[in-house]
């Protein structure tokens, strides 16, 4: 039978079905992104990464200020180095007139406590 034509290309029905499937996939993706907290998790991960990057930068600064004789942080040198990198003011923390550490704030607003021996602790914003 020569009356049958060869089909070339796609039919209108196949095109409509493809478009419907794509719309369903887009709807599911948007729903997951908005209701699944994807954006919030991404912001949280970005913030944690920034805190750790600030801590790493601070650690490299602190290690350069350790006094070889006392094996303690040289507060004056630390303050100068932090000021050069535009970190916040170095604040001495004391208990009964004994220095127990130094507080400082990164350019990104993260707070840290530096112990006299050079260990670093991340502080919450409320502290």
Q: Give the model's pLDDT for residue 19.
A: 95
Encoded tokens for 66? 């350790």
CA distances from 52 to 37, 65, 105 (A): 23, 20, 13
pLDDT higher than 60, residue 65: yes
Q: Give the model's pLDDT for residue 114.
A: 93
Over range 69-87, report the average pLDDT.
Answer: 91
Phi/psi region, residue 81 (left: phi>0; alpha: psi -120 to 50; beta: rest), is alpha
Of these ranges, 3-12, 26-35, 78-87, the one predicted with the greatest mean pLDDT is 78-87
Q: Give the model's pLDDT for residue 5.
A: 61
More confident residue, 43 or 9: 43
104 and 89 in contact (C-beta within 8 Å)?
Answer: yes
Q: Give the model's pLDDT for residue 26.
A: 94
């Amino acid at each position: 039978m020569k009356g049958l034509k060869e089909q070339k290309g796609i039919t209108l029905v196949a095109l409509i079905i493809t478009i419907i499937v794509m719309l369903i996939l887009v709807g599911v993706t948007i729903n997951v992104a908005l209701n699944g907290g994807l954006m919030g998790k991404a912001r949280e991960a970005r913030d944690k990464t920034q805190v750790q990057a600030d801590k790493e930068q601070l650690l490299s600064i602190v290690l350069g200020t350790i006094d070889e004789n006392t094996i303690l942080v040289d507060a004056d040198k630390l303050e100068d180095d932090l000021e050069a990198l535009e970190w916040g003011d170095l604040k001495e923390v004391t208990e009964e007139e004994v220095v127990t550490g130094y507080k400082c704030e990164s350019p990104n607003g993260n707070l840290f406590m530096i112990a006299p021996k050079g260990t670093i602790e991340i502080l919450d914003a409320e502290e």
